[in-house]
Structure 1
Amino acid sequence: MQILENEPMNKHTSFKVGGPARFFVKAESVDDLKEALAMARENRLPHFILGNGTNLLVSDKGYEGVVITLAGEFSEIADMGKGAFKAGAAVPLGRFARAALKQGYAGIHKLAGIPGTLGGAIYMNAGAYGQEIGTHCTQVVTLDEAGNIRERSASECAFGYRQSIFQKSGAGGAQAETILSATFQLESANTACESPEQTVARLEAELQECMAKRKATQPLNMPNAGSTFKRMERGSADMPQQVAPGYYIEQAGLKGYRIGGAEVSTLHANFIVNAGGATAKDILDLSDYVKAAVAKKFGVELQREIIMLGEF
């Protein structure tokens, strides 16, 4: 187990901002993880489980707690046959999606462009292009606050739009359960009129189409944390079916609007980017400004999708 003190979090987040974490721990086994959680309890510090940091905004002041990142045994994928897979929480989602695709299994292949880890994807029920990670999940294994291994069925995970039961907090704001791994049952995409090789090629073509759309519509060349605001259940009174936050942000004339080094992307209005030298406060202030402007113009209340860590 590796322990670093006062580790700059701008090295570990896609926004490239954030002050130091009091402790930064790399846990490569369940025993390492238990030790890291015990260290947090003994020092009366909160803890946070970090994936790839691609949906996270860390305060400029840093995080007076223990940031834990998983590696080692949490980075393994097991092919259990007949479309059943088990993947560790630290497995990159793209790696898992491609591993299943190469075996001719569909259901999560369009998620390969999402830059997070499997644990983070389960935590927020990540989705894209009509697919969600929770749809084919059958079981999630976690470590609870008491140090017990827990197996949750898919129904117990309470997957919904960008949410799961794992988003609930424990004492002191800590995550109540740490995701260790998840099991999936995927369906074969093979049809009677094509060979297994043709099936894989077709799935790969679908994936590449999604990747091309992502590249054409998202500011992938600038530091960002994905969609800033969640898709809404309903739109404004004038357009009740409009559920895309980017539509309202763009119609409010906010594309390209800046506060400090933070900017509403000129490519996709629901992305805030670090246009150079942004601070976490710049990004937070800009998201607050966007929320207020959209609410004033359309009466629509946007909800942030990005996780906030530390004191702002």
Structure 2
Amino acid sequence: MNISNISQIDDKIRGICKGGVALQEPLKHHTTIGIGGAVSYFLSPGDMAQLSEAVKFLSSNRVPLFVIGRGSNLLITDAELPFAVIKLKEACFKNMYRSDNKIFAGSGVGLGEFVNFAASEDLANSEFLTGIPGTIGGALIMNAGVRDVMDDGGKKDISISGLVEKIQVMDKTGKMRWLSRQEISFGYRSSSLKEYILLGAWFVLCPERKKNISERMRRFLAKKSGSQELVLPSAGCIFKNPKNCEMSAGELIERCKLKGYSIGDAQVSGAHANFIINKGDASYQEVKALMNIMREMVLDKFGVELEPEVEIWENKKDDSDG
């Protein structure tokens, strides 16, 4: 950091965000799995100007900066984290409006809110996002989606990138710009957007009768309710579905008979083997140890190497745990 006196940084950040600052904030209160250590600065900017100024100041003082939505795809160390986390929770980051067959949604908009708004406007094709936790910003960064069963019995991955026209971002100097779909690289549960702070996006949808849209929403929700862990705290799917493999990550783990297997309060879900649930006070180390066992057993039994789907936040103290 360029400013040697930490209290100077504290005072400056408080002045920029005007009340939307917490020091040493436990991130376990901001993740769906309920795990996460204290972060040096937890910021909730009140508007775009505050966000830009905060980003510029933190970057100039070499304070690492991350953005959190609803924390639904995160596994965070229990150790203290010497960086800043920004949460875009104010109304100015949750705008939604329609233009022709397009919808603009701010990065703080929940996926459920987005799908419901689209349905209310008789616009289709976002229904597959029904039941997926998280925000527009987080969904774009990880290219959220589902593996859907087609009419011919085959499986196809449907992801949010297929709806994107352009995305508004802020770089680490506080400058805003638009990225066209062609400027962004999307992959399976990945994107080239991690270097930016996402502000919002335009999505291209298709007109359709509300009745048909609602029926598809119910189908996707029923599928999730019947096969995924929706009650107990979790981070969602732990591993990506492997490429060139007929079985999903969940099917591979289940065939290793790991459903219900526990380390401390971390347990492989009985509802879906690709979920790890927090039964009470699970630690980061317990979840990581359980992930390692899942990966090792799948590799030994099937020769398939699983890749984490969750984003993992660590620090140097965690380097030795793999």
C-alpha distance in 2 between matches for 1:120 and 1:33 = 17
Tell me, yes or no, if the aligned pair for 2:163 and 2:205 is still in contact at 8 Å.
yes
The match for 1:173 is none
Correspondence list, 1:1-312, <5 A: 1=17, 2-72=20-90, 73-80=92-99, 82-128=100-146, 129=148, 130-167=157-194, 176-189=195-208, 199-235=209-245, 242-311=246-315, 312=318
Structure 2: gaps spanning 5 or more residues: 1-16, 149-156
Tell me, yes or no, if the aligned pair for 1:143 and 1:180 is still in contact at 8 Å.
yes
How many residue pairs get aligned? The number is 288
Aligned to 1:27, what secondary structure does the other structure show? coil
In the alignment, residue 277 of structure 2 is paired with which amino acid? V
Q: TM-score, normalised by structure 1?
A: 0.89
In the alignment, residue 178 of structure 1 is paired with which amino acid? I
C-alpha distance in 2 between matches for 1:101 and 1:62 = 42
Aligned to 1:233, what secondary structure does the other structure show? coil
Tell me, yes or no, if the aligned pair for 1:102 and 1:200 is still in contact at 8 Å.
yes
C-alpha distance in 1 between matches for 2:202 and 2:138 = 15
Per the TM alignment, residue 261 of structure 1 is displaced from its structure 2 partner at its CA by 0.7
C-alpha distance in 2 between matches for 1:29 and 1:78 = 18
C-alpha distance in 2 between matches for 1:117 and 1:27 = 17
Q: CA RMSD in A?
A: 1.4
Tell me, yes or no, if the aligned pair for 2:112 and 2:129 is still in contact at 8 Å.
yes
The match for 1:170 is none
CA-to-aligned-CA distance 1:13-58 (integer Å, 9 cap, x gap)? 0011111111100023221212222342354321110011000011
Per the TM alignment, residue 71 of structure 1 is displaced from its structure 2 partner at its CA by 2.5
Tell me, yes or no, if the aligned pair for 2:56 and 2:172 is still in contact at 8 Å.
no
Tell me, yes or no, if the aligned pair for 1:64 and 1:310 is still in contact at 8 Å.
no
Tell me, yes or no, if the aligned pair for 1:108 and 1:131 is still in contact at 8 Å.
no
Q: TM-score, normalised by structure 2?
A: 0.86
Per the TM alignment, residue 131 of structure 1 is displaced from its structure 2 partner at its CA by 3.2
C-alpha distance in 2 between matches for 1:40 and 1:310 = 20
